[in-house]
């Protein structure tokens, strides 16, 4: 499914729709260049879930954790990973063993240490907005 999102608000609304559609346990890879809207999309999902605090990119912290209504959401950013083996050191598998949503920005940085995703979302700057493509891992 490919969609054009005209601005930040449309990107957050797309994230909100994801909240209603994703199963309670789901691994989502987020692809897109810097500034493509990956964190904006996650912010929209969190707002739809009822989170009212600040939503920041986990670029420096590696992971941000949210618990909303008993559901856990983890937002990873692997941009600064020097070696995929670092994921073992932080216990990445422990995150995936939980019933939670896991969003991973820059998943290519974790090749060999990440399981296959349930969904893949690609965001590409397109004029003043962005194009987003989402697919299930079961789709070719």
The yes-or-no verdict on residue 140 having pLDDT over 90 is: no
Report phi then psi at 22, rounded to 5.
Answer: -75, 145
pLDDT digits (tens, 9 = 90+) for 87-130: 888 888 899 999 999 999 999 999 888 999 999 999 998 888 89
The yes-or-no verdict on residue 139 having pLDDT over 50 is: no
The CA distance from 34 to 68, in Å, is 27
CATH superfamily of 2-113: P-loop containing nucleotide triphosphate hydrolases (3.40.50.300)
Handedness of CA 23, 104, 56, 73 (dihedral sign): positive
According to the model, what pLDDT value does residue 39 have?
93
According to the model, what pLDDT value does residue 83 have?
87
pLDDT digits (tens, 9 = 90+) for 33-85: 988 899 999 999 999 999 999 898 888 788 999 999 889 999 999 998 888 88
Q: Which is nearest to 4 in space by CA: 89, 107, 126, 114?
A: 126
């Amino acid at each position: 499914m490919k969609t054009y999102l005209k601005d930040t608000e449309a990107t957050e609304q797309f994230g909100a729709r994801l909240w209603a559609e994703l199963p309670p346990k789901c691994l989502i890879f987020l692809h897109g260049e810097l500034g493509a809207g990956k964190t904006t999309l996650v912010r929209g999902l969190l707002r739809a879930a009822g989170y009212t605090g600040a939503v920041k990119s986990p670029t420096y912290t590696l992971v941000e954790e949210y618990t909303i209504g008993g559901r856990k959401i983890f937002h990873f950013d692997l941009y600064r990973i020097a070696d995929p083996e670092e994921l073992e050191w932080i216990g990445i598998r422990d995150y995936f063993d939980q019933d939670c949503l896991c969003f991973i920005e820059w998943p290519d940085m974790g090749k060999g240490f990440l399981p296959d995703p349930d969904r893949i979302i690609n965001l590409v700057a397109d004029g003043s907005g962005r194009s987003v493509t989402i697919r299930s891992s079961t789709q070719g």
